[in-house]
Structure 1
Amino acid sequence: MTHRRFIPRKRLLPLAIASTALAPFSMTAQAQSETGMTLDPVVVSATRSETSVSETARSVTVVDEDQINEQSKVSRNLNDILAQTVPGLGPSTESVTNYGQTLRGRKFLVLIDGIPQSTPLRDASRGLNSISASAIERIEVIRGGTAIYGFGAKGGVINVITKKASEDSVSGYSQAGVRFSTEHFDDSLDYETEHRVSGTQGDWDYVLSGSFVERGGRFDADGDRIPPGGPGGTQGGFSDTTEYNVLAKTGLDFDGGDQRIELMVNEFNNEQDSDYTFGFAQGDDKTPAVPLDEAVDQAKPGVDPEQVFTSARATYSHADIAGSSIKADVYYGDSRQAFPKYYYPGAGPYPQSAIESEKVGVRTSVNTPLEVLADGANLTWGVDYLSDKTDSRYYDQSGEIPATSPAMDQDAYAGYAQLELPVAESAVLRAGLRHEDISVDVGTVPANGSSFPNLQGHRVESGTLDYSETLFNLGAVYFVSDSVDLFASYSEGFSIADVGRVIRDAGPYRTAPSDPILTFQAGSFESEAEKVENYEIGSRYSGERLGVSAAVFYSASNGGTTFDSNLNIQKNDEDIWGVETAADYSVTSATTLGGTLTWAEGIRDTADGGRKRLPGTRIAPLKVTGYLEDQTLSWWHNRLQLSHIGSRDQFEGSTAFGEGEVERYTIIDYVARFNAGSGEVTLSVRNLLNEDYYPAVSQSYYQIGSANSATSRIKGQGRTMGVGYSLNW
């Protein structure tokens, strides 16, 4: 038996470039040539060092530029793109939010070039809607909690890497297109365009990319308008939105290429200005969209819903300092995320909310060869710092009103070390630790939101929450042959997620002004943290025509987050387990098929000492995706794909939030691309068979007998066509 030789780190980057260029169809990041020769797999950087996918002891998916471009023809929404291509990730919410779309049943950390987009202190769940797909080079997804990044990565990391410069001195790309509902053409038109220019001149390279989208209404399979608020009527939708994204990136190599400085700025803005809001469903009817001038005053927004993200980064790297390579990032992130208006009958006038966050951070990575231990041994180590100032704003139709959640100012420090140790030529061991010290200053709240909607809540005195945690990870990869490897890992994650929500909901629900007002000390909420232990075993196969990966996982945590029937936050011990597979098969040099399968289940402790299944906002039903691609004719490329979401009914008769029954549905999409002169014409059809369905998260929101169900019955889009033209110049 010939075992695979461990690839020295200095060879990884050129091998990654070669295999990435030849792997447009691979979901498992394994590359094959048309002749069937197996190439070395691609490299991921989300591990804090350049690591071959086949040598990671974790489940990793790399969604490359070709896949992103292909999926963008069907939908520009990253929730949709990743749901179709990444096993372990829940079904798309089909909206601006990733609330209810978890990674192995847990929330994940979203990074753009290493800059965190998530807002864990007061979770807005908008990380996947913080950059346009047109600005992305590839997306690396590491599933399961990770001690490598920390700072909220308990479910895994989704690392978005922005466009790189062309190797030509000047290279351009332009695209324009329209999309529309085939069931209701009027008011459904989307207009989109994107342009990019990049190049390399000597030691200097640059990228300038911009995109603009103006969207009309969204319509279901019956041709009826979908309410603009998204799942639950309040999480945020794409109807009647205007979006733009501008990416500027430049870098300079010097010292013979050993040193590099790179600067990046990305600005994303998505704002909704709709003449509609949600109405109220009767019984099992769908939630209707109603004109604002016909809606009750409590359902009219005080400010336009929006997502605004600004990210900036400066990077310095040196290939050889006393034998080690070093990379240091200084970054800045600023975001504002305003939710739609929330209201349902009999509950009173809930305020409209917005979450604002400003981050400043430093991230360092040093790779030190340890040849004294073994050929190819390496230690990756460094320190991280993150300052995060998060605040909540509240509005009614008269303007801003007093906050019911605290202002929070976090300082977080971490040091980490990760050892990579080849064992002969047949195995690689990885072990590491990360120590985090986190301090959160919490401002005073005169009246928190525990008494929504009358805002006469309890008082929370200012204070400081201190956390300190050491996280470990251990994994191994064994190369059975050149085609097969086995891997296993244990990893810990840690999060103080949604402290703001916990404090906002503190105290009993006050139903009358005469109810007593309590006073809480902010420091008493230090225990509201969650530590996750992740276990995983799996295998990968990369043959001449077939690539397959499969993994079984289990995670356990203390202090996991769910909600009761009154949407009050609940902290419980949890267990989650499941299985994932992905496969790609080259039928011929021109035809490829493949897909993914994800199944998970979870259970939590209850206040009465029992155990209960985790809700649908945490655990998604069975998800199966598949695709068939063909380019028998060189000028005509076809892709047919499906996404099947299974049923889940663990909560018969429940009125608790997230415990609605999910009925199965299947969405089929088609994309055709034709050569046209020096450019390309694209025809896409989303929901080809016009499936009439409710997205899984909307079904989970629905609660039998609950007033909130009137706003939760939001249908998915009916058949939608797109036509576009793109040109490289």
Structure 2
Amino acid sequence: MKSIAPSSGYFKHALLASTAVAALLGPVWVQAAEVANAAQNSAQQDREVTLELPAQNLDQALTAFADQAGLHLLFTTSDVDGLHSQALSGRYSIAQALQSLLAGSGMSWQFSDARTVILRKAQATPASVSLKPIEVSVASRTSTSISEIPGTVWVVDQQQLNEQINSGVSLKEAIGKLVPGLDLAPEGRTNYGQNMRGRNVLVMIDGVSQNSSRGLSRQFDSISPFNVERVEVLSGASAIYGGGATGGIINIVTKKGEEGPARFETQLGASSGFNNSDDLSTRIAQSVSGGNERVNARLGISGEQNEAFYDGAGDQIFIDNTQTDLQYNRTIDVLGSLGLKFNDEQSLDLLAQYYDSGNHGSTGIYFPNLNYNAPSDLEDAELRSGYSTDLEPRTKRLLLNANYHHSDVLGQDFYLQASYRKEDDNFYPFPYYNPGKPAGSKGVYFAASQQNFEVSSLKALFAKQWDTLKLTYGVDLDRERFNADQTTFDALTSSQSGGLDLDKASEAPRYPSYRVDGLSYYAQLDWHATDNLTVSGGARRQQMDVDVGEFKNVPGGNNDYQVNLFNLGAIYDFKNGHQVWTNYGEGFDLPDPAKYYGKPGLSVEDNPLAGIKSRQVEMGWRYADLDWDAQAAVYYIWSDKIITTDMATLTINVEDQKSRDFGFEGSLTRHFESGWEAGSTLHLVRSEEEDQDGDWIKRDARYASLSKSTAFVGWKEEGRSARLQANHAFTLEDDADHKISGYTTFDLLGSQDTGFGTFSAGIQNLLDKQYSTVWGQRATLFYSPTYGPEYLYDYQGRGRTYTLTWSMAY
């Protein structure tokens, strides 16, 4: 339904004029880009770094150099076999260091971007690329080469992330398009149902969990992409992190300060589908960073303002009043980091973040058929201005994180992390029928909840490296506090205004408050059995104490439970670019205590909670050279319990019922010497559960993941790029005839570096496809007809949207 705001062509003309100017100045940009790229490469070559590299095998030297210099090196394994490097100690420019390391090897080097260097032997045919310089911490909590991890690992670097974000999508949407096993994302505030391999995913920022026992599905509504350096992803269940990691782990790594003079980054962006004057989103961001050998710091501030979103038919998308929306929303993210290097052995990294994303508009859902304490219905609703409420929908977060590292405590690496997260989540006012039959005969009232968390943790980790063994062990202490209130709005005022004027009438607890304390011990052993074979195994024991407060005259109480988790895996590196692995892993979920104990009259002590354990087996393969990148895995995950939702009360039940997810996850990319590349990802998943007769049936479509595939063709040259991509969600239908219809969308992306910054343009949903989002179709199954007609919850996908972004680092 259209917004009533009058149409205006001003912004449309302005953005189209900008595009025309961009096209006319194309030749100038190309020339400026060549100058800028030459200058950038020269600056990178001249950048000085501190190195401590002993004389050793060239393969090992290049790995250590990449880590110390903060670079990605791509080189052919066979080119460095049997070669040795000289020792380097002190300050060197990148060019000096590479010349010294590669002296006598017959190899040359070239920057492909600001952080990636390709090493080649003269006239050599590309063979396998060493993966050792690419290290992540998501799999083992310490920096580990991907080539040594027996699992499916994906790394979304800053260039890939920016390319997607500059098409106008959110962080969760960008990651969903790039990581095969992660579902395509909803377009509103929630990431409900965005599973990985059909199960829940643990989301972290710099190793700090953004999940909570109360599953609000706002883990990605927590940081601006402007402050993100890269995203590390481990698919599948994991024992090393404990609760929540049953389908996989996503670690969002933030940008940090770097050694050198002050650096600045500025970014401006705007998105519109040109459907109306309020079809507009704008973004602005600024950062400053710098440092020296001992101290580095960065401060990044990002702001975003969304107005209305429109679907492929040109109609405004209905506001999500279930999980809250991002229309008419203002977001600010302030993130600062400080790195201190006390000496060669000790360092401390500090992070502080304030994030506030909330409603900032006067448009709401108008219900014309409301009568105070008299027959009413929710039909014929429309979006209209004049909305006002005493409780604005929003997400507000404060995050503090400190990481201390000592490289020699009793001959071991020691890591200590302390973190604190405070989160306040407000929901959109929701219409409820007053008790009476038929539904609506006694009128409608509106209510909204505010749900608050405080999560603190202390994590200690030791790591010891021997010649062929690496032992990692530690302890985690966690405390989570939760409370929630329900604001009920004056029924007379809301009825007379059609739900637009919402004045607070009363406040009462929405869910029982609770506290969850966790104490966990874990250990992981990695054994390099041969030069090719690495075997890993680990265990974790987690003790959880749950203390629930009194709720609706039902006494509170406490209970506790323990869970033991194990993992075992092996990876074989053929040293020719091919690697194969297999693993067994376990993870667990704690059912939402608020929704579980929120059922009327449920005794806490008589109904203890227990973790739902998931077990996974997986086999995989990956390959990389200068022409190909490939990774594929098959998996099987199972558990003995499921969670179901009582639609009358929106509380949950835990049922003794087996469930399983199995499928295939893979990615293939071909790089051509001409700068062209093409690729595809595929995730095929089937989710099932046992019925009362012990037969396997398809899982309820409200909870099951959809299979998906993506494909792209792109072109990159120094300073410019273009990409056409397709995103397809497969149709899902369960055995109760609930259906989630699939869809296909296309995006067109491009960028051009110039002497005065980088211009990026994107067209999201290129063909202006009209479709219902996966969350919109699930929401109709969840909320209709109990809470009104289907159209209220059938949220449409955003139509063709143009985005223009300018950024400059200086």
TM-score normalised over the length of structure 2:
0.78
* Deviating more after overlay: 588-597 vs 107-116: 588-597
Tell me which residue corresponds to 1:537: 619
Equivalent residue in structure 2 for 1:471, among 565, 575, 587: 565
Q: Is the 8 A contact 1:152 1:497 kept in 2?
A: no
2: CA distance, partners of 1:425 / 1:287 = 69
Residue 187 in 1 paired to residue 241 in 2?
A: no
Tell me which residue corresponds to 1:454: none
Q: Deviation of residue 640 (structure 1)?
A: 1.5
2: CA distance, partners of 1:469 / 1:270 = 36
Equivalent residue in structure 1 for 2:804, among 719, 723, 729: 723
Deviations along 1:125-148, one digit per CA (max 9) or x if unpaired, are: 101111111111111111112111
State the aligned residue count: 675
2: CA distance, partners of 1:438 / 1:377 = 31
Tell me which residue corresponds to 1:14: 66
Q: Deviation of residue 245 (structure 1)?
A: 0.4
Q: CA separation of 1:289/1:367 partners in 2, compared to 1, >3 Å: closer, same or farther?
A: farther
Residue 243 in 1 paired to residue 331 in 2?
A: yes
Q: CA separation of 1:362/1:441 partners in 2, compared to 1, >3 Å: closer, same or farther?
A: same
Residue 144 in 1 paired to residue 144 in 2?
A: no
Q: CA separation of 1:635/1:78 partners in 2, compared to 1, >3 Å: closer, same or farther?
A: closer
**2:175 match: secondary structure:** helix
Q: Is the 8 A contact 2:257 2:339 kept in 1?
A: no
Within 5 Å, give how 1:417-432 maps onto structure 2.
417-432=523-538
Within 5 Å, give how 1:140-219 maps onto structure 2.
140-182=232-274, 184-219=275-310
Q: CA separation of 1:224/1:725 partners in 2, compared to 1, >3 Å: closer, same or farther?
A: same
Deviations along 1:246-286, one digit per CA (max 9) or x if unpaired, are: 1110111122x22101111011110013433346899xx99
Residue 619 in 1 paired to residue 704 in 2?
A: yes
Equivalent residue in structure 2 for 1:75, among 151, 168, 183: 168
Residue 383 in 1 paired to residue 475 in 2?
A: yes
1: CA distance, partners of 2:751 / 2:382 = 35
Q: CA separation of 1:573/1:317 partners in 2, compared to 1, >3 Å: closer, same or farther?
A: same
Q: Is the 8 A contact 2:432 2:447 kept in 1?
A: no
Q: Deviation of residue 707 (structure 1)?
A: 4.5
1: CA distance, partners of 2:616 / 2:627 = 32
Q: Deviation of residue 651 (structure 1)?
A: 4.1
Equivalent residue in structure 1 for 2:155, among 54, 58, 62: 62
**1:699 match: secondary structure:** helix
Deviations along 1:301-331, one digit per CA (max 9) or x if unpaired, are: 5511101111111111011223211111111
Within 5 Å, give how 1:550-589 maps onto structure 2.
550-563=632-645, 566=648, 567-571=650-654, 572-589=657-674
Q: CA separation of 1:582/1:33 partners in 2, compared to 1, >3 Å: closer, same or farther?
A: farther
2: CA distance, partners of 1:416 / 1:78 = 31
Residue type of the partner of 1:493?
Answer: G
Q: Deviation of residue 549 (structure 1)?
A: 0.6
Q: Is the 8 A contact 2:168 2:762 kept in 1?
A: no
Residue type of the partner of 1:524?
Answer: D
Deviations along 1:343-374, one digit per CA (max 9) or x if unpaired, are: 367375463122210011111221112x3xxx
2: CA distance, partners of 1:429 / 1:664 = 40
Tell me which residue corresponds to 1:109: 202
Q: Is the 8 A contact 2:702 2:781 kept in 1?
A: no
Q: Deviation of residue 93 (structure 1)?
A: 0.7
Residue 263 in 1 paired to residue 356 in 2?
A: no
Equivalent residue in structure 2 for 1:363, among 426, 447, 459: 459
- Structure 1: 5+ residue stretches without partners: 447-458, 508-518, 654-658
Residue type of the partner of 1:627?
Answer: F
**2:364 match: secondary structure:** strand
Q: CA separation of 1:570/1:337 partners in 2, compared to 1, >3 Å: closer, same or farther?
A: same
Tell me which residue corresponds to 2:184: 91
Tell me which residue corresponds to 1:440: 546
**1:523 match: secondary structure:** coil
Q: CA separation of 1:228/1:203 partners in 2, compared to 1, >3 Å: closer, same or farther?
A: same
**1:79 match: secondary structure:** helix
Q: Is the 8 A contact 2:259 2:293 kept in 1?
A: no
Tell me which residue corresponds to 2:415: 327
* Deviating more after overlay: 478-487 vs 240-249: 478-487
Equivalent residue in structure 1 for 2:401, among 298, 310, 313: 313
1: CA distance, partners of 2:62 / 2:640 = 41
Tell me which residue corresponds to 2:583: 489
Q: Is the 8 A contact 1:483 1:541 kept in 2?
A: yes
Tell me which residue corresponds to 1:225: 316
2: CA distance, partners of 1:725 / 1:468 = 52
Tell me which residue corresponds to 1:51: 144
2: CA distance, partners of 1:650 / 1:582 = 27
Within 5 Å, give how 1:691-706 maps onto structure 2.
691-703=769-781, 706=785
Residue 304 in 1 paired to residue 392 in 2?
A: yes
Q: CA separation of 1:485/1:561 partners in 2, compared to 1, >3 Å: closer, same or farther?
A: same
2: CA distance, partners of 1:204 / 1:30 = 25
Q: Deviation of residue 64 (structure 1)?
A: 1.0
Deviations along 1:368-414, one digit per CA (max 9) or x if unpaired, are: 12x3xxx3310001111011101112112225521131111111111
Residue type of the partner of 1:676?
Answer: T
Q: Deviation of residue 523 (structure 1)?
A: 2.1
TM-score normalised over the length of structure 1:
0.87
Q: CA separation of 1:13/1:695 partners in 2, compared to 1, >3 Å: closer, same or farther?
A: farther
Q: Is the 8 A contact 1:538 1:551 kept in 2?
A: yes
1: CA distance, partners of 2:579 / 2:62 = 22
Q: Is the 8 A contact 1:226 1:288 kept in 2?
A: no
Q: Answer with 1 or 2: which has the greater Rg.
A: 2
2: CA distance, partners of 1:494 / 1:432 = 15
1: CA distance, partners of 2:335 / 2:263 = 16
Q: Deviation of residue 527 (structure 1)?
A: 3.6
Tell me which residue corresponds to 2:734: 650
2: CA distance, partners of 1:205 / 1:177 = 28
1: CA distance, partners of 2:197 / 2:293 = 45
**2:260 match: secondary structure:** coil
Q: Deviation of residue 477 (structure 1)?
A: 0.4
2: CA distance, partners of 1:328 / 1:688 = 48
Tell me which residue corresponds to 1:510: none
Q: CA separation of 1:694/1:396 partners in 2, compared to 1, >3 Å: closer, same or farther?
A: same
Tell me which residue corresponds to 1:455: none
Higher relative contact order (CA 8 A, sep 6+): 1
Q: CA separation of 1:727/1:281 partners in 2, compared to 1, >3 Å: closer, same or farther?
A: farther
Q: Is the 8 A contact 1:472 1:491 kept in 2?
A: yes
1: CA distance, partners of 2:262 / 2:610 = 52
Q: CA separation of 1:528/1:109 partners in 2, compared to 1, >3 Å: closer, same or farther?
A: same
2: CA distance, partners of 1:302 / 1:601 = 44
1: CA distance, partners of 2:68 / 2:180 = 22
Tell me which residue corresponds to 2:18: none
**1:68 match: secondary structure:** helix
Q: Is the 8 A contact 1:605 1:612 kept in 2?
A: yes
Q: CA separation of 1:610/1:281 partners in 2, compared to 1, >3 Å: closer, same or farther?
A: farther
Q: Deviation of residue 8 (structure 1)?
A: 7.5
2: CA distance, partners of 1:411 / 1:9 = 44
Deviations along 1:689-726, one digit per CA (max 9) or x if unpaired, are: 10111112212333498355342211010111111211
Give the fraction of aligned pairs with identical amino acids, expressed as a percent: 26
Residue type of the partner of 2:716?
Answer: Q
Q: Deviation of residue 544 (structure 1)?
A: 3.1
Q: Deviation of residue 237 (structure 1)?
A: 1.8
Tell me which residue corresponds to 2:384: 291
2: CA distance, partners of 1:13 / 1:433 = 33
